[in-house]
Amino acid sequence: MARIGTPLGGQRRLFVAQPAGHLKIILACLALACLLTGGRAEAASFPERTIKVVTPFAPGAASDVELRLLAARMSETMKVPVVVENHPGAGGVVAARTVTNAPHDGYTIAWVGNNTAIGVSLFREPFDPRKEMEPIVGVSQFAYLFVTSAKSRFKSLKEFIEAARAHPGELKIGTSSAGTSNNLAALLFTLNMKLKVTVVPYRGPAELEVALLRNDVDVVVNAYGGLQGAIKAGQIRVLAVTSGQRDDRLADVPTMAEQGVPDFDITSWNGLYGPKGMPKVAVSALEANVTAILKEPDTIAKFKRLGFEALPVPHEKFARRMEAEIKRWGSVIDAAGITRK
């Protein structure tokens, strides 16, 4: 409907009256625009409240201590509390599900390790981070050590290999629980070298150390963090490091490759993932913040004392590493004939 009006000044104008339905549509669109703009503003100011990091490791474990150091520094630099929650169990699946079942807003994220990649092939009902989570940033990596008792007859890994070939089935290697990174590293070693050696899983570093010192096993495979006390006390001898390069803390210890073990550049790792679909601005903010922290000399030194190398990995590259590790350990699990749990 149109009408002719005469506003002040005498000029005649045409006014169009909008139907009530059209007015409601316009108001609804304005409301939606305000809502979307507000959402963008809220995301752009990430973080505004407490961030929760869920870890699959038990309190006191080296990776748990590492995370708590990182979280404390994040709290300082991001100006919001960053708290750690421990949800151990099922090879990291319990912790991962806690994160994926939380709101996908970037305020509940996961501390993941190599065990997350291993679990894809190890469990009958696996958790697959490629499908259910978003990479945020890689944080650290660490090698494993092949060690023996200081009183052992083995002075090098080569001597152990020669003894294993001369006496098949007699020697034993101790590791953490079946399916853990160092357990699979030991199995990969026996497969690569075609050795008949028994790999014996134990529940943790303390049991491993006792087994070695009592001569229940001939060699133990574990991370530096779980062995440094015994190394400094002179109770154990380090035979090899599993990384591609020597560890500067153990400069005289050769790598596996230097001792004739092919295709054995192994480092485990930790990092941060979030639930699938979390805001990109949250990923960017967390990645930038953690990357900056990991370049601080104090953080580098603290991580090193725990046995970790501070190593920020951008989220795209971190996703590629996860993919590569899933394939690698899946092949080892199949070759070793490990039954899915």
- Helix 297-306 to helix 280-294 angle (10° resolution) is 80
- Choose one of 208, 236, 259: the last residue of a domain: 259
Average pLDDT (199-227) is 91
Lowest mean pLDDT among 8-12, 58-62, 165-169, 242-246: 8-12
Range of the domain at 134: 51-141+268-336
- Residue 72 in domain: yes
Residue at 182 is within a domain: yes
Which among 259, 285, 314 is the end of a domain? 259
Do residues 185 and 192 lie in contact, with contact meaning Cβ atoms separated by under 8 Å? no
Identify whether 30 is part of a domain.
no
Average pLDDT (267-283) is: 96
Instruction: Give the pLDDT confidence score for residue 60 in this predicted structure.
Output: 84
Same domain, 129 and 230: no
Q: How far apart are CA 123 and CA 218, in angstroms?
A: 30
Please compute the mean of the pLDDT values over residues 19-34 and round it to a whole number: 48
Tell me, yes or no, whether 137 and 277 share the same domain. Answer: yes
**CB 149: neighbour CB atoms within 10 A?**
20
- Give CA 26 to chain center in angstroms: 48
pLDDT tens for 286-306 read: 999 999 999 999 999 999 999
Taking the C-alpha atoms of residue 341 and residue 179, their distance in angstroms, rounded to an integer, is 10
255 and 150 assigned to the same domain: yes
Number of domains in the chain: 2
Q: Are residues 164 and 222 in the same domain?
A: yes
With the CA atoms of 226, 230, 235 and 238 taken in that order, what torsion angle do they form, in degrees rounded to the nearest 10? 50
pLDDT at 218 over 80: yes
Least confident of 9-23, 33-47, 237-251: 9-23
Confidence of residue 145 (pLDDT cuts 50, 70, 90): very high
- CB contact at 8 A, 198 and 232: no
Domain annotation covers residue 13: no
Q: Please state which of the ranges 36-40, 142-146, 170-174, 222-226 shows the lowest mean pLDDT.
A: 36-40
More confident: 91 or 307: 307
List the one residue out of 98, 101, 100, 75 whose CA is nearest residue 88.
98
CATH code of the domain covering residue 241:
3.40.190.10
Count of Cβ atoms closer than 10 Å to residue 124 Cβ: 7
Residues 204 and 272 in one domain: no
Considering the domain boundaries, does residue 6 fall inside one? no
Beta partners for residue 141, in sequence order: 269, 309
The last residue of one of the domains, among 207, 226, 259, is 259
pLDDT at 211: 93
Q: Which amino acid is at 97?
A: R
- How confident is residue 38, by pLDDT bands cut at 50, 70 and 90? very low
- pLDDT level of residue 159 (50, 70, 90 thresholds): very high
Q: For the segment 323-339, what is each residue's pLDDT rounded down to a tens digit? A: 999 999 999 999 988 88
Q: Are 302 and 277 members of one domain?
A: yes
> What is residue 216's DSSP assignment?
S
Residue predicted with more confidence, 147 or 29: 147
| Across 145-153, average pLDDT | 96
Q: What is the CA radius of gyration of the chain?
A: 28
Taking residues 262-276, report their average pLDDT: 93
Cα 112 to Cα 67: distance, rounded to the nearest angstrom: 10
Tell me what pLDDT residue 21 has: 52
Looking at residue 255, the DSSP 8-state letter turns out to be B
* Predicted pLDDT of residue 15: 41
- Say which residues have a Cβ less than 8 Å from residue 100's Cβ, sequence separation at least 6: 132, 133, 275, 276
Q: Is 190 helix (H, G, I), strand (E, B) or coil?
A: helix
Same domain, yes or no: 133 and 149: no
- Same domain for 179 and 126, yes or no, is no
| In a shared domain, residues 276 and 133 | yes
Question: Does residue 208 belong to any structural domain of this protein?
Answer: yes
Q: Is the pLDDT of residue 136 over 60?
A: yes
Residue 177 lies in a domain: yes
Q: Residue 28 pLDDT > 90, yes or no?
A: no
Same domain, 137 and 151: no
Q: Select the more confidently predicted residue: 273 or 1.
A: 273
Instruction: Give me the mean pLDDT over the 89-108 stretch.
Output: 90
Mean pLDDT of the chain: 87
- 116-125, 190-199, 291-300, 312-321, range with the lowest pLDDT: 116-125
- What is the CATH number for 299? 3.40.190.150
Do 239 and 150 lie in one domain? The reply is yes
pLDDT band, residue 44 (cuts 50/70/90) = low
Q: Which of 58-62, 80-84, 100-104, 255-259 has the lowest mean pLDDT?
A: 58-62
The answer to whether residue 33 is domain-embedded is no
- Identity of the highest mean pLDDT range in 4-13, 67-76, 258-267, 329-338: 67-76
Q: Measured between alpha carbons, how far is 303 from 336 in angstroms, rounded to an integer?
A: 33
Structure tokens given for 265? 């550049």
User: Where do the H-state alpha helices sit in the chain?
Assistant: 20-44, 62-78, 93-100, 114-122, 129-132, 157-166, 181-193, 205-213, 224-232, 280-294, 297-306, 315-336
Tell me: do 55 and 149 sit in the same domain: no
- Strands 219-223 and 309-313, bridge-based pairing: unpaired
